[in-house]
Structure 1
Amino acid sequence: MNNNTEEMKSRKTSYTQQAAASKRAALGLLLLLSLCLAGCGRVEVPAQYGETPKLPAVYPDYTHVTVPVNIAPLTMELTTPAEDVVTRYSYAGQEIVCGGVKAQPDIDEWKALTAAAKGHDIRVDVYARQQGQWTHYKPFTITVSPDSIDPYISYRLIAPSYVTYEELTINQRCLENYDETVIYNNMLAANDSDGQCINCHNVQNYNPDRYQFHARQHHGGTVIEYDGKMQKVNMKNDSILSAGVYPAWHPTLKLLAYSTDQTMQSFHTRDIDKIEVLDSQSDLILFDPDKNEVQTILNDSTEFEVFP
């Protein structure tokens, strides 16, 4: 009986300690959230400030631009040195006030503001504190078009260098909220001895189910995806300069035109960081994926067909 009593007391003490710990954790979380909310709430337009007729130097430069109504929040930062910055986006009584050198509007607030300002202008006021004094720059506007932009864009993400070419991905970004996903990760198929590069990804008439891209060097070829069917081809033969290079889909038919090229790099003598890629020869071909057939379109040795 005594053993059972002691065990019950021990359990009760343990439960009490766990409950107290949980309560402290919950209170800590609430305190943290309240501090975060208070920090957002403390961002206010300065009560006293001087005026300047200059527009603020912001990057990216969004002064007097027109944007589609469904664009993601326009993040920008003041490039002029400042101790603190307040940025206000406003239209017809609605406003978003951001604190800090980089203005990052909340996505829900931004969507509400752009929806209200559709077909009109959002006013942007930038205030900067320099040497303890606030200055209000000349306001500028962002025109909100009632038209929407296609929500997705794809691109090759690679370092701006002519030395590194293997560490890259083909990515997709949503222009409505900045969500980014990887379509193809080149590092998954590469290694030290057998490297490869991927390039020239191209989609037929904005249809993500119909696309192509090239793989160079190890396991090289052109990958073509068309309505769920994928194939890998090598268009190079003795009668053409190279495998397909720069692609162009037919708008509706299952046909692709390519340039074939002999390319080279050219370095600037006064600035070693600048480089050009030039063609010494170029022709045009047509590829039919169903027939796996290549036809020559133009191959005049005296012409650069990629520069019509």
Structure 2
Amino acid sequence: MKLNRLTPLGTKPPFLLRRLALIFIFSVFVCGTAFGSDIQQVNAEDNKKLLKQADRLIKQGNFVEASKIFRKVLETNPTDSSVKLKLARALLKQRSIVDAYDISYAVVASEPENAHAYAVLGTSLLSAGRFAEARQVLFTALRLDKKEALAWAGFGLLEFYENRIDDSLQNLREAVFHDPNQPDFVFALAQVSARAERYAEAADAYNRFLSISKNTDDERRARIRGLIDFLRFLGYKRSLYQTAGPDNSKVKFSLIGNRPVIELRINERDEPFRFVLDTGSGISVISEETAARLKMTPITRGG
């Protein structure tokens, strides 16, 4: 029997050996690629579950734990801008304004067409009291996407802070229209509606807030229900206050602990009552003792 000649080292291997080597390399490559894709798929599925858990925590008001989950997801997928923005919004709820600003600013820098990133950045600036910059950034968000609810809400709060109540109402209504299940937007609409003396609308908004907000404790819910009853009562009135008299008048007051205290007569009674003058207050508050002396009966409790 004749033996085949062995191929010395350094010479070209036979065709069969070359083919086997190529098959082996290709198999290793395919297996390695498949194994890597399996890991990525597992990570994606795990992250999806984690994000659902974080969203539930957000609805429950547990922003600290939700933030931890968002950070964990970003460890495996550090380029996911949507998760970064969710983290930024959760940080804003914790008053970590600088961190929220840094995260949203970085997303805006890398994705200049991301309307939601501009909205989160604008909200961060608004929370920091930088109103002029917030206005510009929120405007950019709406220029990119007129349906960006967070930007509308930011504009609504900005107008409210600057005492443009009608504009605030219009913007907050727009925010609620685009995202009717966001409790923060609905609650802000309720507050501004009451400030605008649109009491029926405010009552409806507070009632809507209770129906969609799951993280409100029982005591606060009871207070809001009392406030709703009060607003329903006021809804039958055209205005809470009726102004009359001269345009200017002089009133004597006593300064007690940096609080101006004035004496007023109510319903033509001879007995004067002492009130603290608060120019930032939207309603007048009296004690239960004073209410009893005036023979005033409560229409609801809480609020």
Is this a same-fold pair by TM over 0.5? no
User: RCO (CA 8 Å, sep 6+): is it higher in 1 or 2?
Assistant: 1
TM-score, length of structure 2 as denominator length: 0.22
TM-score, length of structure 1 as denominator length: 0.22
Q: Which has the larger radius of gyration?
A: 2
Bigger fraction of residues in helix = 2
